């Protein structure tokens, strides 16, 4: 997804969850931040943004604090966040690692914080491995970690290439029970 998102307006991309994002200044973690357009945009809005991304070559843009971190451990990422974004990357987490990954994320969401997923379905790329991504799975894991789903948005693909490939998206928004 991230390659297809290059050049698109980050504000427009985040529009489906605008109402769930905290008011600046807040602490936000972007997990699997890619080249950081979303993280940069949120930094410019006045947020304190940590971009967790295991590919060091992507650590380019100014604004977020870059950390070479990967799920499920997220080593080097400390504290709690008012919002955690998991945008178009959950399909890269092998199912065996997902319970630990969800537990790590749930533990890093502040009281009254939000955990926002963008889950991609279909349109398997042939240049990298991805795993199936049923929405029920992170919701069930989140529930086991004391979180509840407060919104579930299903926006249309913004990219014609994705619409042609019949890619669909689910954006579940989770809230801690603490
Ligand atoms: C499809 S890109 C999405 C990038 C960005 N979130 C976006 O939506 O534009 C997936 C990103 O997840 C990162 N990634 C892959 N496995 C990861 C892991 N185990 N933990 C954290 N990030 C990972 C990749 O390096 C890549 O930057």
pLDDT tens profile 7-64: 789 999 999 999 999 999 999 999 999 999 999 999 999 999 999 999 999 998 999 9
Task: Tell me how far apart the alpha carbons of residues 59 and 41 are, in angstroms, rounded to a whole number.
Answer: 15
Structure tokens at 69: 């971190």
Inform me whether the pLDDT recorded for 5 exceeds 80: no
Q: What is the pTM of this model?
A: 0.94
Write out the residue range of the structural domain in which residue 98 sits.
2-176
Task: Tell me how far apart the alpha carbons of residues 85 and 32 are, in angstroms, rounded to a whole number.
Answer: 9
Contact residues for 6 (Cβ-Cβ < 8 A; gap 6+):
35, 37
Task: Tell me how far apart the alpha carbons of residues 112 and 22 are, in angstroms, rounded to a whole number.
Answer: 10
- DSSP structure class, residue 8: S
Ligand 1 site residues, Cβ closer than 6 angstroms: 1-2, 5, 31-34, 53-55, 58, 70-71, 87-89, 92-93
Per-residue pLDDT averaged across 135-158, rounded? 94
- DSSP structure class, residue 16: G
- Tell me, what CATH number does 99's domain have? 3.40.50.150
Pocket test for ligand 1, best of 92, 94, 118, 128 (most atoms within 8 A of CB): 92
**Total domains present in the chain:** 1
* Rg value, the chain, Cα: 15
């Amino acid at each position: 997804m991230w390659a297809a998102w290059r050049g698109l307006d980050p504000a427009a991309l985040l529009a489906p969850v605008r109402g769930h994002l905290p008011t600046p200044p807040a602490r936000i973690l972007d997990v699997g931040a890619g080249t950081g357009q979303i993280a940069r945009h949120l930094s410019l809005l006045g947020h304190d943004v940590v971009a967790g991304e295991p590919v060091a070559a992507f650590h380019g843009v100014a604004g977020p604090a870059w950390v070479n971190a990967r799920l499920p451990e997220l080593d080097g990422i400390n504290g709690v966040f008012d919002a955690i974004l998991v945008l178009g990357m959950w399909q890269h987490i092998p199912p065996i690692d997902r319970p630990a990954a969800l537990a790590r994320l749930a533990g890093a969401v502040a009281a009254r914080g939000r955990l926002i997923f963008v889950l991609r379905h279909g349109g398997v790329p042939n240049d990298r491995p991805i795993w199936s991504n049923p929405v029920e799975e992170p919701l069930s894991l989140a529930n086991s970690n004391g979180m509840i789903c407060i919104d579930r948005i299903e926006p249309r693909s913004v990219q014609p290439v994705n619409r042609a490939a019949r890619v669909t998206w689910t954006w579940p928004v989770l809230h801690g029970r603490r």
